[in-house]
Amino acid sequence: MREARLHHAELAASLRAALAADALTVLYQPIVDLHSGQPVALEALLRWRTADGRDVPPSKFIAVAEEIGLVVDVGSKVLRDATAQASLWYARHDVAVSVNVSARQLASPTFAADVLTVLAERSLPPAALIIEITETVLVDAAGELAQQTLTALREQGVRIAVDDFGTGYSSLAYLQRLPIDILKIDHTFTAALDSPGDRGVRFVGAILGLGSSLGVPTVAEGVETPRQAALLRELGCPLAQGYHFARPCPPEGILDYLSTPVAMRASLT
């Protein structure tokens, strides 16, 4: 236990230093139209490689950032970086950026105004930004202030996506109450499409049916094989994201990706 506490303290100190030194990097992964193959958005994914060359998983360092009160600063950094890149991509390629937001960010009474200010500084329309919240955040953020924040952003044209949908924290009541524009199916359901039998297909079909009944498009996450992509097309899934289409890459790689015809993008995956 003592070793675990020391490791946690060292990780927290290193994270503070990395944020101060702007050593955290943002990669981008395309979200594509399953039928045309064209990208419609790019999800901003935060990565951290320590000074000694170790890659720390986001699931680990984001949890630490939450515990030590840095998650708002980390989220702000991702928003600034992503919108700066979007200012180069949106007008030319008509792709939005999708940014993950924590419950603590949504709890700030100035969050909506801060987001709109950043967009204005980048000369970006609100349609160029998608705010992603996980199901856990959806539950935590079900208070009145969070609803007002999400509604205010949505009324200005910012879209709201629920990430990792189907992982066990969701409630249909929250989906009914909160302003939602996009559902993202958790990668575990996409992986289940390769399982024997049709149980995985039925689960994905049910989520797609829910999205359709709510009038919101659905993104299948974690698409890694041609078979998964083909099944999703047959099920009527409109959008997808995963290694089958492109791995997360730095901004310069995204510029190459966006400039490459769809038929030639297989070499970039």
pLDDT tens profile 40-90? 999 999 999 888 888 888 888 888 898 888 999 999 999 999 999 999 999
- Structural domains of the chain, ranges and CATH numbers in brackets: 2-268 (3.20.20.450)
- What confidence score (pLDDT) does residue 265 get? 66
Burial class (CB in 10 A: 0-12, 13-18, 19+), 84: middle
d(CA 25, CA 57): 13
pLDDT: which is higher, 154 or 147: 154
- The distance from CA 132 to its chain's CA centroid, rounded to whole angstroms, is 5
Q: What is the pTM of this model?
A: 0.90
**Residue that wins the pLDDT comparison between 127 and 53:** 127
Quick: pLDDT tens for 233-268. Answer: 999 999 999 999 999 999 999 988 998 887 666 545
Q: For residue 239, what are the contacts with CB-CB under 8 A and spacing of at least 6?
A: 31, 32, 33, 34, 40, 217, 218, 219, 220
Query: What integer pLDDT is reported at residue 136 of this predicted model?
Result: 67
What Cα–Cα distance (Å) separates residue 22 from each residue in 46, 83, 121, 125, 252? 12, 16, 20, 26, 18
Residue 237 near residue 208 (C-beta atoms within 8 A):
yes
Closest residue by Cα to residue 159 from 143, 179, 173 = 179
Arithmetic mean of pLDDT, 153-162: 95
* CB under 8 A, 24+ apart: contacts of 74-77: 74/19, 74/24, 74/46, 75/99, 75/100, 75/101, 75/102, 75/105, 76/105, 76/114, 77/19, 77/22, 77/24, 77/26, 77/46
Question: Which single residue is written with the structure tokens 């730095």?
Answer: 250
Q: What are phi and psi of 266, to 5 degrees?
A: -60, -30
For residue 239 the two structure tokens come to 């959008």
